[in-house]
Structure 1
Amino acid sequence: MNLVDAGKVREGVAEVKAGVTFCLSLPLDVPGGMTLNARRMPPRLYATLRDGKSAGAQGYGWSYASEDPSLTDVVCDEVMLMNTQYSTQWDSLAHMGSRFDADGDGEAEIVFYNGFRGDRDIHPAAEDPHAAAPWARFPDPKAAVLGIENLARHGAQGRGVLVDLEHHLGRQRKAVGYDELMRIMQADGVEVEPGDMVCLHTGFADTLLAMNRQPDVKRLHDTGSGLDGNDPKLLNWIVDVRLACLIADNPAVELVEAPKLAQPGGGMKRPRLPLHEHCLFKNGIHLGELWYLTDLARWLRAAGRSRFLLTAPPLRLPGAVGSPATPIATV
């Protein structure tokens, strides 16, 4: 994102011609439930307390009339509990590291982008075995470096470029490698320049949204394309073209393979999510997932365009490894 400088912001602003905006976020309670990812919890709202009573105890909110009958204010207040990466999200550079022999001693350490260490810089939570709720069992993890607040402070505003995979591939499950991606971009006249924020439209989020918070997991697992993280030509292109970040309307940007059993006798170690490792761990390239891109993609295609102003700051939440986002595209 260091490539998204003042010049790239001006290039993004120059793409605003119609003054039309698109919200690129799903509602934050989508997908719905925890069947799509059993480790991620949807948002839940709780009323705050005032004098030991709920802010909703009198129907719509707390009335100051309990303090002074002449006061007319009625106040609603709440607490939200959710996974930061449940719905439309940014991955920080602390989201994904790797077991890597950084010391050259034959032993793999947990290492994150730019050599930061898991035992020193990305602090795990200390287990609280007495916690009443499962989500409270590991309190206070903190990314002392690489947290999402760095992206928030940057602003995450610049020129977005959309690649419409769905238009060419439909919504079938397909791993898209370098050759196919170049063919699609050439067919649509899409060019990616240094500092561009690249968005991949697959139609996955639109299919998910239509399920109205009742995700059909089997159907979703068969829906939508994603990048082929095992294609070395694609990984090299991501670095060589000097794009700022990769964003998709699917859950992982890359197409995630089913887990494979370890081979007898070991074998070469490898990542489960090779594109995540390549982008977040090796090259410091942020990923955005589960964005809603369908309305924008259709407008851009009808207008014969692929570029727009993208404004997409995450929450300025120190130490977090991810964040919900409400990105806005302006065309």
Structure 2
Amino acid sequence: MTRWVNRPEGSNWGDFGLEDQLGTLNYIGDEQRLSAAKEIREGRAFCLSLPLDLPGELTLNPRRKPPRLGPTYLGDTPYINYPLSNVDSQLHDVLSDDQVLLSTQYSTQWDSLAHVGALFDADGDGVSERCYYNGFRADTDIVGAGVEGNHASYARKLSASEMAKKPVQGRGVFIDFVQAFGSERVIVGRELLEKVIREQNVKLRRGDILMLRTGYSEALWDMQENPDPERLERTGAVLDGTDSALHTWISESQISAIAADNYAVENPHSDPTTCCLRLPLHHHCLFKLGLPLAELWYFRDLAAALTASKRNSVFLTAPALYLPGAIGSPLTPVATI
């Protein structure tokens, strides 16, 4: 029995199967990975992650806190520089063992398909339900309040761990908004995006992961000792989530995901009363298409290498953590050229 009678206009619910949890990542198959591997010509690899303790003193989201490292304990004993043997000898093991508490979407991250849903009448009974991509439901498939063992939240479906079980790996295609616009804030709709694509001679294929350099993470890196929130808000291009033509382009392009170096990928609405959606691009991508979004990647070094070699495509490896139930995931993406 299907979970929904209605599917949102412009969505692809059911196109990859009624139980699908991967969405547009289904566009990446064996053929796409083999083709992507041909992008490795020099053998150089680039880390595309910020240090996971950035943004540091800057608060981008008050709910998300920086990681806190600490030792593991056996009883009341912390296992940092701990001698494992009591034998009176110069030769014995010393052990250090730690653990971390972190927000999964604090720094370089994937948004899973369980991250943004909507109120939508999926049952066709005139009453809107809280649901997510492919009709998966709040409280049934994405749950809270300790329903799964000791967890206080748990995505039974659409977890970020789905992007680990079928690892995100394929052809990354680089669009350099810094090269096109500089570091100032520019709102990019379909017309402007297509202009940059033509000017930078970007060739897109089915299953490509779109990588957008805006300079935001680079500014974040540079100002970590002297944070300037107001300046950061004016830094870097953002996609225009209100542009329906851009939504159509994303759907028709058959890209598999979008990874940006900024916060939120799109330009968030500051006044929720002006529109039904604060994050309309998240709504279109995550809720309607099952297209994962990534935020706060780091592209400075890769951009320099690609400019020098006059290229804009890489072999990209970017799996999420295999943490069942997680709604977001930190990661260390690697681009190989």
What TM-score results when the alignment is normalised by the length of structure 1?
Answer: 0.90
Match status 1:320 vs 2:332 = no
- Residue aligned with 1:2, SS: helix
Counterparts of 1:177-188 in structure 2, within 5 Å, are: 177-188=189-200
1:16 is aligned, of 14, 19, 40, to: 40
C-alpha contact 2:272 2:278 (8 A) present in aligned 1: no
Whichever residue aligns with residue 109 of structure 2, its letter is Q
1:108 is aligned, of 117, 128, 133, to: 128
- More displaced, 37-46 or 250-259? 250-259
C-alpha contact 1:33 1:42 (8 A) present in aligned 2: no
- Residue aligned with 1:65, SS: coil
Cα drift, residue 214 of structure 1: 5.0
Cα distance in 1 between the residues matched to 2:189 and 2:139: 35
Whichever residue aligns with residue 14 of structure 1, its letter is K
Cα distance in 1 between the residues matched to 2:236 and 2:110: 20
- Residue aligned with 1:162, SS: strand
Whichever residue aligns with residue 69 of structure 1, its letter is D
Q: Which residue of 2 aligns with 1:76?
A: 96
1:121 is aligned, of 130, 141, 144, to: 141
Cα distance in 2 between the residues matched to 1:19 and 1:7: 21
Cα drift, residue 89 of structure 1: 0.2
Whichever residue aligns with residue 224 of structure 1, its letter is G
With over 3 angstroms needed to count, the CA separation of the structure-2 counterparts of 1:207 and 1:101, relative to structure 1, is: same
Counterparts of 1:216-255 in structure 2, within 5 Å, are: 216-255=228-267
C-alpha contact 1:143 1:320 (8 A) present in aligned 2: yes
Cα distance in 1 between the residues matched to 2:127 and 2:239: 31
Cα distance in 1 between the residues matched to 2:260 and 2:53: 18
With over 3 angstroms needed to count, the CA separation of the structure-2 counterparts of 1:312 and 1:14, relative to structure 1, is: same
Over the aligned positions, Cα root-mean-square deviation in angstroms equals 1.6
What do residues 191-237 of structure 1 show as CA deviations (whole Å, max 9, x unaligned)?
11110011000000000011126532111111111111111111101
What do residues 91-136 of structure 1 show as CA deviations (whole Å, max 9, x unaligned)?
1100110011112233221010000110211112259xxxxxxxxx
Whichever residue aligns with residue 306 of structure 1, its letter is N
Cα drift, residue 155 of structure 1: 1.0
With over 3 angstroms needed to count, the CA separation of the structure-2 counterparts of 1:213 and 1:275, relative to structure 1, is: farther
Cα distance in 2 between the residues matched to 1:115 and 1:213: 45
Match status 1:256 vs 2:256 = no
Cα distance in 2 between the residues matched to 1:215 and 1:125: 36
- Residue aligned with 2:242, SS: coil
Match status 1:160 vs 2:172 = yes
Gap regions ≥5 residues in structure 2: 1-24
- More displaced, 101-110 or 7-16? 101-110
Cα drift, residue 69 of structure 1: 3.3
Identical pairs, percent: 45
Match status 1:310 vs 2:316 = yes
Match status 1:94 vs 2:106 = no
- More displaced, 33-42 or 10-19? 33-42
Cα distance in 1 between the residues matched to 2:164 and 2:241: 27
Cα drift, residue 160 of structure 1: 0.5
- More displaced, 206-215 or 222-231? 206-215
Q: Which residue of 2 aligns with 1:276?
A: 282
1:289 is aligned, of 280, 286, 295, to: 295
Q: Which residue of 2 aligns with 1:300?
A: 306
Q: Which residue of 2 aligns with 1:134?
A: none
Cα distance in 2 between the residues matched to 1:55 and 1:34: 31
Match status 1:206 vs 2:212 = no
- Residue aligned with 2:50, SS: coil
C-alpha contact 2:260 2:295 (8 A) present in aligned 1: yes
Q: Which residue of 2 aligns with 1:135?
A: none
Q: Which residue of 2 aligns with 1:265?
A: none
What do residues 75-104 of structure 1 show as CA deviations (whole Å, max 9, x unaligned)?
001110010000000011001100111122
Whichever residue aligns with residue 292 of structure 2, its letter is H
- Residue aligned with 2:335, SS: strand
C-alpha contact 1:33 1:41 (8 A) present in aligned 2: no
What do residues 229-275 of structure 1 show as CA deviations (whole Å, max 9, x unaligned)?
1111111010101001001000111122312436xxxxxx6211001
Whichever residue aligns with residue 159 of structure 2, its letter is G
Cα distance in 2 between the residues matched to 1:125 and 1:303: 51
Cα distance in 2 between the residues matched to 1:274 and 1:125: 28
C-alpha contact 1:23 1:326 (8 A) present in aligned 2: yes
